[in-house]
Amino acid sequence: MPTEIRMPSLTDAMTEGTVVAWKKREGDSVRAGEVIAEIEADKTTVDLEAPADSVLTRIVVPAGAARVRVGEVLAVLHRPGEAADAVARGPAVEAPTPPCQSNDHLAKSADGATSPAESEFGPAASRPEPNAARAPDDVKASPLARSMASQAGLDLSSLRGSGPRGRVVKADVLKALGFGPGLEAPSQPPYPATGPAPAWAETPFDEIPHVRMRQVIARRLGESKRTIPHFYLAVNCQIDALLRLRSELQPHCAGGPKLSINDFALRATALALRKVPEVNASWTDGATRRFRRVDLAVAVATESGLITPIVRDADRKGLAELAAEVRDLAARAREGRLRPEEYQGGTFTISNLGMYGIDESYAIVNPPQAGILGLGAAEPRPVVRDGSIVVATMMTCSLSADHRVLDGATGARFLSAFKVLIERPVTMML
Protein backbone atom coordinates (compact mmCIF):
# COMPACT_ATOMS: atom_id res chain seq x y z
CA MET A 1 0.00 0.00 0.00
CA PRO A 2 1.19 3.61 -0.49
CA THR A 3 3.23 5.35 2.20
CA GLU A 4 2.30 8.91 3.10
CA ILE A 5 5.10 11.25 4.11
CA ARG A 6 3.71 13.78 6.58
CA MET A 7 5.00 16.95 8.20
CA PRO A 8 6.83 15.67 11.29
CA SER A 9 6.61 17.12 14.80
CA LEU A 10 10.21 17.91 15.66
CA THR A 11 9.58 19.75 18.93
CA ASP A 12 6.87 19.74 21.56
CA ALA A 13 5.77 23.25 20.60
CA MET A 14 5.86 22.76 16.83
CA THR A 15 2.49 23.10 15.09
CA GLU A 16 3.56 23.84 11.51
CA GLY A 17 6.62 23.88 9.30
CA THR A 18 7.96 24.89 5.89
CA VAL A 19 9.05 22.69 2.98
CA VAL A 20 12.39 24.25 2.05
CA ALA A 21 13.34 21.99 -0.85
CA TRP A 22 12.71 18.61 -2.42
CA LYS A 23 15.83 16.57 -3.10
CA LYS A 24 13.96 14.13 -5.34
CA ARG A 25 11.48 14.56 -8.17
CA GLU A 26 8.27 12.71 -8.89
CA GLY A 27 9.04 9.32 -10.36
CA ASP A 28 12.49 9.06 -8.75
CA SER A 29 13.44 5.92 -6.91
CA VAL A 30 14.57 6.39 -3.31
CA ARG A 31 16.30 4.12 -0.84
CA ALA A 32 15.51 3.75 2.85
CA GLY A 33 17.20 6.53 4.81
CA GLU A 34 17.87 8.66 1.72
CA VAL A 35 17.14 12.38 2.10
CA ILE A 36 14.13 13.38 0.01
CA ALA A 37 13.35 16.86 1.39
CA GLU A 38 14.47 19.65 3.71
CA ILE A 39 12.02 20.86 6.35
CA GLU A 40 12.29 24.11 8.31
CA ALA A 41 10.92 23.86 11.82
CA ASP A 42 11.14 26.77 14.26
CA LYS A 43 14.86 27.54 14.37
CA THR A 44 16.48 24.89 12.25
CA THR A 45 16.35 22.98 8.97
CA VAL A 46 16.27 19.19 9.10
CA ASP A 47 16.49 16.44 6.50
CA LEU A 48 13.41 14.33 5.80
CA GLU A 49 14.38 10.74 5.03
CA ALA A 50 12.56 8.02 3.10
CA PRO A 51 11.27 5.27 5.42
CA ALA A 52 11.78 2.46 2.89
CA ASP A 53 12.92 1.63 -0.65
CA SER A 54 10.21 3.04 -2.91
CA VAL A 55 9.28 5.47 -5.68
CA LEU A 56 8.33 9.10 -5.08
CA THR A 57 4.98 8.99 -6.87
CA ARG A 58 3.51 12.33 -5.89
CA ILE A 59 4.74 15.57 -4.28
CA VAL A 60 1.65 17.01 -2.61
CA VAL A 61 3.24 20.10 -1.01
CA PRO A 62 5.64 21.99 -3.28
CA ALA A 63 8.98 23.44 -2.22
CA GLY A 64 8.62 26.81 -0.55
CA ALA A 65 5.19 26.11 0.94
CA ALA A 66 4.98 27.64 4.41
CA ARG A 67 2.64 27.13 7.38
CA VAL A 68 2.17 23.44 6.62
CA ARG A 69 0.56 21.92 9.69
CA VAL A 70 2.09 18.98 11.53
CA GLY A 71 0.64 15.74 10.20
CA GLU A 72 -0.28 17.13 6.78
CA VAL A 73 0.63 14.90 3.84
CA LEU A 74 3.73 16.16 2.02
CA ALA A 75 4.27 13.38 -0.48
CA VAL A 76 3.28 9.81 -1.34
CA LEU A 77 5.67 6.91 -1.87
CA HIS A 78 4.81 3.63 -3.58
CA ARG A 79 6.61 0.40 -3.97
CA PRO A 80 7.30 -0.43 -7.62
CA GLY A 81 4.14 -1.71 -9.32
CA GLU A 82 1.65 -0.20 -6.88
CA ALA A 83 -1.02 2.25 -8.11
CA ALA A 84 -1.37 5.76 -6.81
CA ASP A 85 -4.35 6.39 -4.54
CA ALA A 86 -6.55 9.46 -4.22
CA VAL A 87 -4.03 11.27 -2.09
CA ALA A 88 -1.29 10.79 -4.67
CA ARG A 89 -3.57 12.08 -7.45
CA GLY A 90 -4.86 15.04 -5.46
CA PRO A 91 -3.83 18.61 -6.20
CA ALA A 92 -0.78 20.12 -4.59
CA VAL A 93 -1.23 23.01 -2.19
CA GLU A 94 -0.62 26.51 -3.41
CA ALA A 95 2.96 27.74 -3.40
CA PRO A 96 3.69 30.73 -1.16
CA THR A 97 3.33 34.28 -2.37
CA PRO A 98 6.46 36.14 -3.46
CA PRO A 99 8.66 37.07 -0.48
CA CYS A 100 8.50 40.86 -0.82
CA GLN A 101 5.53 43.15 -1.25
CA SER A 102 5.41 46.92 -1.60
CA ASN A 103 2.88 49.53 -0.59
CA ASP A 104 3.46 51.51 -3.76
CA HIS A 105 0.15 50.10 -5.08
CA LEU A 106 -1.74 51.98 -2.35
CA ALA A 107 -1.80 55.18 -4.43
CA LYS A 108 -5.29 55.82 -5.85
CA SER A 109 -6.63 58.57 -8.08
CA ALA A 110 -8.97 61.09 -6.45
CA ASP A 111 -11.67 60.59 -9.09
CA GLY A 112 -12.04 56.90 -8.25
CA ALA A 113 -10.28 55.52 -11.34
CA THR A 114 -8.89 52.03 -10.97
CA SER A 115 -5.15 51.97 -10.27
CA PRO A 116 -2.70 49.58 -11.99
CA ALA A 117 -2.62 47.50 -8.84
CA GLU A 118 -6.42 47.14 -8.95
CA SER A 119 -6.30 46.17 -12.60
CA GLU A 120 -3.99 43.32 -11.71
CA PHE A 121 -5.69 42.06 -8.57
CA GLY A 122 -9.30 43.13 -9.11
CA PRO A 123 -11.38 45.60 -7.05
CA ALA A 124 -9.77 46.56 -3.76
CA ALA A 125 -12.89 45.50 -1.86
CA SER A 126 -12.27 41.88 -2.88
CA ARG A 127 -9.10 41.65 -0.77
CA PRO A 128 -8.40 42.76 2.83
CA GLU A 129 -6.78 46.13 3.40
CA PRO A 130 -4.32 45.80 6.28
CA ASN A 131 -4.30 49.44 7.29
CA ALA A 132 -7.97 50.41 6.68
CA ALA A 133 -11.01 49.97 8.85
CA ARG A 134 -13.20 47.13 7.72
CA ALA A 135 -16.62 47.97 6.29
CA PRO A 136 -19.45 45.45 5.67
CA ASP A 137 -18.54 42.90 3.03
CA ASP A 138 -21.13 44.19 0.56
CA VAL A 139 -19.67 47.74 0.52
CA LYS A 140 -17.16 48.38 -2.25
CA ALA A 141 -14.70 51.15 -1.46
CA SER A 142 -11.19 52.25 -2.37
CA PRO A 143 -8.50 51.85 0.30
CA LEU A 144 -8.19 55.65 0.58
CA ALA A 145 -11.93 56.01 1.09
CA ARG A 146 -11.93 53.30 3.74
CA SER A 147 -9.08 55.00 5.59
CA MET A 148 -10.73 58.42 5.44
CA ALA A 149 -14.08 57.02 6.61
CA SER A 150 -12.44 55.16 9.46
CA GLN A 151 -10.55 58.22 10.68
CA ALA A 152 -13.68 60.40 10.42
CA GLY A 153 -15.97 57.83 12.07
CA LEU A 154 -18.20 57.42 9.01
CA ASP A 155 -20.15 54.26 8.25
CA LEU A 156 -19.27 53.28 4.68
CA SER A 157 -22.57 51.46 4.27
CA SER A 158 -24.37 54.80 4.63
CA LEU A 159 -22.53 56.35 1.67
CA ARG A 160 -23.57 56.16 -1.96
CA GLY A 161 -20.59 55.40 -4.17
CA SER A 162 -19.95 57.37 -7.35
CA GLY A 163 -17.05 55.24 -8.56
CA PRO A 164 -17.12 52.31 -11.00
CA ARG A 165 -19.88 49.81 -10.15
CA GLY A 166 -21.00 51.97 -7.22
CA ARG A 167 -17.63 51.94 -5.51
CA VAL A 168 -17.17 54.46 -2.68
CA VAL A 169 -14.23 56.74 -3.49
CA LYS A 170 -12.49 59.73 -1.92
CA ALA A 171 -14.97 62.25 -3.37
CA ASP A 172 -17.90 60.45 -1.74
CA VAL A 173 -16.28 60.63 1.70
CA LEU A 174 -15.41 64.31 1.23
CA LYS A 175 -19.01 65.03 0.21
CA ALA A 176 -20.30 63.32 3.35
CA LEU A 177 -17.93 65.47 5.40
CA GLY A 178 -19.30 68.66 3.87
CA PHE A 179 -16.70 69.29 1.20
CA GLY A 180 -18.98 69.64 -1.78
CA PRO A 181 -18.30 71.09 -5.27
CA GLY A 182 -16.59 74.46 -5.12
CA LEU A 183 -15.34 73.95 -1.59
CA GLU A 184 -11.68 73.36 -0.93
CA ALA A 185 -11.09 69.77 0.00
CA PRO A 186 -8.28 68.79 2.39
CA SER A 187 -5.13 67.60 0.66
CA GLN A 188 -4.92 64.66 3.06
CA PRO A 189 -7.48 62.45 4.83
CA PRO A 190 -9.11 64.14 7.88
CA TYR A 191 -6.97 62.65 10.66
CA PRO A 192 -7.82 63.33 14.30
CA ALA A 193 -6.39 66.53 15.76
CA THR A 194 -4.81 64.55 18.57
CA GLY A 195 -1.86 63.38 16.49
CA PRO A 196 -0.17 63.39 13.10
CA ALA A 197 -1.22 61.23 10.18
CA PRO A 198 -0.01 57.62 10.43
CA ALA A 199 3.36 57.16 8.76
CA TRP A 200 2.04 54.36 6.55
CA ALA A 201 -0.34 56.77 4.82
CA GLU A 202 2.50 58.52 3.03
CA THR A 203 5.76 56.59 3.42
CA PRO A 204 6.51 53.81 0.88
CA PHE A 205 7.62 50.53 2.40
CA ASP A 206 8.53 46.95 1.53
CA GLU A 207 7.05 44.03 3.47
CA ILE A 208 9.47 41.22 4.28
CA PRO A 209 7.52 38.10 5.28
CA HIS A 210 8.57 36.62 8.60
CA VAL A 211 10.61 33.44 8.43
CA ARG A 212 9.65 30.81 10.96
CA MET A 213 12.63 31.54 13.20
CA ARG A 214 11.67 35.21 13.48
CA GLN A 215 8.08 34.24 14.35
CA VAL A 216 9.32 31.94 17.11
CA ILE A 217 11.65 34.63 18.48
CA ALA A 218 8.85 37.19 18.48
CA ARG A 219 6.44 34.87 20.24
CA ARG A 220 8.86 33.67 22.91
CA LEU A 221 10.49 37.00 23.75
CA GLY A 222 7.17 38.83 23.62
CA GLU A 223 5.84 36.32 26.13
CA SER A 224 8.99 36.76 28.22
CA LYS A 225 8.66 40.55 28.46
CA ARG A 226 4.91 40.36 29.17
CA THR A 227 5.01 37.65 31.83
CA ILE A 228 8.46 37.77 33.47
CA PRO A 229 9.28 40.58 35.93
CA HIS A 230 12.80 41.46 34.83
CA PHE A 231 15.47 43.13 36.92
CA TYR A 232 18.99 44.04 35.89
CA LEU A 233 22.41 44.11 37.55
CA ALA A 234 25.81 45.00 36.10
CA VAL A 235 29.44 44.72 37.12
CA ASN A 236 32.67 46.02 35.57
CA CYS A 237 35.39 43.38 35.28
CA GLN A 238 39.09 44.04 34.74
CA ILE A 239 40.41 41.39 32.36
CA ASP A 240 44.11 42.25 31.90
CA ALA A 241 45.11 39.08 33.78
CA LEU A 242 42.79 37.08 31.53
CA LEU A 243 44.42 38.49 28.41
CA ARG A 244 47.90 37.62 29.74
CA LEU A 245 46.83 34.07 30.58
CA ARG A 246 45.27 33.66 27.14
CA SER A 247 48.57 34.64 25.51
CA GLU A 248 50.40 32.11 27.65
CA LEU A 249 47.97 29.29 26.89
CA GLN A 250 47.62 29.90 23.17
CA PRO A 251 50.90 28.19 22.13
CA HIS A 252 49.64 25.04 23.87
CA CYS A 253 46.48 24.99 21.74
CA ALA A 254 48.28 24.16 18.50
CA GLY A 255 45.86 22.49 16.09
CA GLY A 256 42.86 23.61 18.13
CA PRO A 257 40.75 26.75 18.15
CA LYS A 258 42.19 30.02 19.39
CA LEU A 259 40.96 30.85 22.86
CA SER A 260 38.73 33.92 23.02
CA ILE A 261 37.45 36.13 25.81
CA ASN A 262 34.08 34.50 25.21
CA ASP A 263 35.53 31.06 26.01
CA PHE A 264 36.82 32.32 29.37
CA ALA A 265 33.46 33.97 30.04
CA LEU A 266 31.65 30.69 29.33
CA ARG A 267 33.92 28.87 31.75
CA ALA A 268 33.49 31.55 34.42
CA THR A 269 29.70 31.56 33.97
CA ALA A 270 29.48 27.78 34.30
CA LEU A 271 31.58 27.77 37.49
CA ALA A 272 29.66 30.71 38.94
CA LEU A 273 26.41 28.82 38.39
CA ARG A 274 27.90 25.91 40.27
CA LYS A 275 28.82 28.24 43.16
CA VAL A 276 25.40 29.96 43.16
CA PRO A 277 23.00 27.22 42.03
CA GLU A 278 19.93 29.34 42.83
CA VAL A 279 20.52 31.14 39.51
CA ASN A 280 20.56 27.88 37.55
CA ALA A 281 16.79 27.55 37.83
CA SER A 282 13.39 28.26 36.28
CA TRP A 283 9.91 29.21 37.46
CA THR A 284 6.79 27.05 37.38
CA ASP A 285 3.42 27.80 38.97
CA GLY A 286 3.91 25.01 41.51
CA ALA A 287 7.62 25.26 42.32
CA THR A 288 11.02 26.62 41.37
CA ARG A 289 13.07 24.10 39.42
CA ARG A 290 16.73 24.14 40.36
CA PHE A 291 18.71 22.26 37.73
CA ARG A 292 21.31 19.69 38.67
CA ARG A 293 23.31 20.24 35.48
CA VAL A 294 24.76 23.39 33.98
CA ASP A 295 23.63 23.44 30.36
CA LEU A 296 24.74 26.77 28.92
CA ALA A 297 22.82 28.28 26.01
CA VAL A 298 25.09 30.45 23.84
CA ALA A 299 23.42 33.16 21.74
CA VAL A 300 24.43 32.94 18.06
CA ALA A 301 23.35 35.46 15.43
CA THR A 302 22.24 34.02 12.08
CA GLU A 303 20.74 35.55 8.95
CA SER A 304 17.26 34.48 10.09
CA GLY A 305 17.60 35.57 13.72
CA LEU A 306 19.00 34.54 17.07
CA ILE A 307 19.43 30.92 18.10
CA THR A 308 20.92 29.50 21.28
CA PRO A 309 22.72 26.16 20.90
CA ILE A 310 23.37 24.34 24.17
CA VAL A 311 26.70 23.32 25.71
CA ARG A 312 25.77 20.41 27.98
CA ASP A 313 27.55 20.02 31.34
CA ALA A 314 29.53 23.18 30.65
CA ASP A 315 30.93 23.29 34.19
CA ARG A 316 32.65 19.93 33.58
CA LYS A 317 34.51 21.02 30.45
CA GLY A 318 37.84 22.80 30.15
CA LEU A 319 38.59 25.89 28.10
CA ALA A 320 39.83 24.05 25.01
CA GLU A 321 36.83 21.69 24.98
CA LEU A 322 34.41 24.57 25.44
CA ALA A 323 36.05 26.55 22.65
CA ALA A 324 35.88 23.65 20.18
CA GLU A 325 32.27 22.73 21.01
CA VAL A 326 30.98 26.31 20.81
CA ARG A 327 32.60 26.89 17.43
CA ASP A 328 31.12 23.69 16.04
CA LEU A 329 27.64 24.53 17.34
CA ALA A 330 27.83 28.12 16.09
CA ALA A 331 28.95 27.05 12.61
CA ARG A 332 26.09 24.57 12.26
CA ALA A 333 23.62 27.08 13.72
CA ARG A 334 24.48 29.59 10.97
CA GLU A 335 23.96 26.84 8.40
CA GLY A 336 20.59 25.90 9.94
CA ARG A 337 21.83 22.38 10.66
CA LEU A 338 21.29 22.08 14.40
CA ARG A 339 19.17 19.22 15.66
CA PRO A 340 16.27 20.29 17.94
CA GLU A 341 17.91 18.70 20.98
CA GLU A 342 20.98 20.90 20.37
CA TYR A 343 19.13 24.16 20.94
CA GLN A 344 16.43 23.17 23.44
CA GLY A 345 16.67 22.65 27.18
CA GLY A 346 19.37 25.07 28.34
CA THR A 347 19.43 26.21 31.98
CA PHE A 348 21.10 29.64 31.54
CA THR A 349 22.05 31.83 28.59
CA ILE A 350 25.11 33.95 27.78
CA SER A 351 25.02 36.62 25.06
CA ASN A 352 28.14 38.44 23.86
CA LEU A 353 27.77 41.64 21.84
CA GLY A 354 31.25 42.90 22.62
CA MET A 355 32.53 42.15 19.11
CA TYR A 356 30.10 44.81 17.85
CA GLY A 357 31.57 47.45 20.14
CA ILE A 358 28.58 47.43 22.50
CA ASP A 359 29.52 48.65 25.99
CA GLU A 360 26.56 47.15 27.87
CA SER A 361 23.87 44.65 26.95
CA TYR A 362 20.66 44.07 28.93
CA ALA A 363 19.05 41.11 27.23
CA ILE A 364 15.56 39.64 27.59
CA VAL A 365 15.37 36.48 29.69
CA ASN A 366 15.14 33.35 27.55
CA PRO A 367 12.17 31.44 29.06
CA PRO A 368 11.88 29.22 30.97
CA GLN A 369 15.37 30.10 32.25
CA ALA A 370 15.77 32.53 35.15
CA GLY A 371 18.68 34.57 33.82
CA ILE A 372 20.86 35.66 30.93
CA LEU A 373 24.33 37.20 31.12
CA GLY A 374 25.21 39.93 28.63
CA LEU A 375 28.84 40.71 27.79
CA GLY A 376 30.03 44.07 26.53
CA ALA A 377 33.21 45.06 24.73
CA ALA A 378 36.62 44.68 26.36
CA GLU A 379 38.23 48.11 26.08
CA PRO A 380 40.79 50.32 27.80
CA ARG A 381 39.21 52.56 30.43
CA PRO A 382 40.55 54.85 33.15
CA VAL A 383 40.26 53.30 36.61
CA VAL A 384 41.38 54.39 40.06
CA ARG A 385 44.03 52.20 41.69
CA ASP A 386 45.76 53.13 44.96
CA GLY A 387 44.55 56.68 44.60
CA SER A 388 45.91 57.10 41.08
CA ILE A 389 44.19 56.97 37.70
CA VAL A 390 45.51 54.16 35.49
CA VAL A 391 44.34 52.51 32.28
CA ALA A 392 42.96 48.97 32.48
CA THR A 393 41.09 46.66 30.12
CA MET A 394 37.51 46.59 31.38
CA MET A 395 34.41 44.67 30.35
CA THR A 396 30.87 45.37 31.57
CA CYS A 397 28.86 42.23 32.31
CA SER A 398 25.13 42.48 33.01
CA LEU A 399 22.62 40.04 34.43
CA SER A 400 18.97 40.09 33.36
CA ALA A 401 16.99 37.98 35.82
CA ASP A 402 13.50 36.69 36.56
CA HIS A 403 12.47 38.32 39.85
CA ARG A 404 10.04 35.47 40.55
CA VAL A 405 13.01 33.13 40.90
CA LEU A 406 15.85 35.42 41.99
CA ASP A 407 16.17 38.32 44.37
CA GLY A 408 18.67 41.11 43.92
CA ALA A 409 21.02 39.70 46.53
CA THR A 410 21.13 36.31 44.78
CA GLY A 411 21.87 37.94 41.46
CA ALA A 412 24.59 40.03 43.12
CA ARG A 413 26.24 36.92 44.59
CA PHE A 414 26.28 35.32 41.14
CA LEU A 415 27.87 38.38 39.50
CA SER A 416 30.42 38.62 42.33
CA ALA A 417 31.39 34.98 41.81
CA PHE A 418 31.69 35.58 38.07
CA LYS A 419 33.82 38.69 38.62
CA VAL A 420 36.28 36.85 40.86
CA LEU A 421 36.70 34.10 38.27
CA ILE A 422 37.04 36.36 35.25
CA GLU A 423 39.48 38.71 37.00
CA ARG A 424 41.55 35.84 38.43
CA PRO A 425 41.37 33.37 35.57
CA VAL A 426 43.95 31.04 37.04
CA THR A 427 41.24 30.00 39.54
CA MET A 428 39.30 28.53 36.59
CA MET A 429 42.07 26.01 36.17
CA LEU A 430 41.54 24.54 39.65
- The residues assigned a catalytic role are 403
Alpha carbons within 13 A on the beta-carbon side of 322: 26
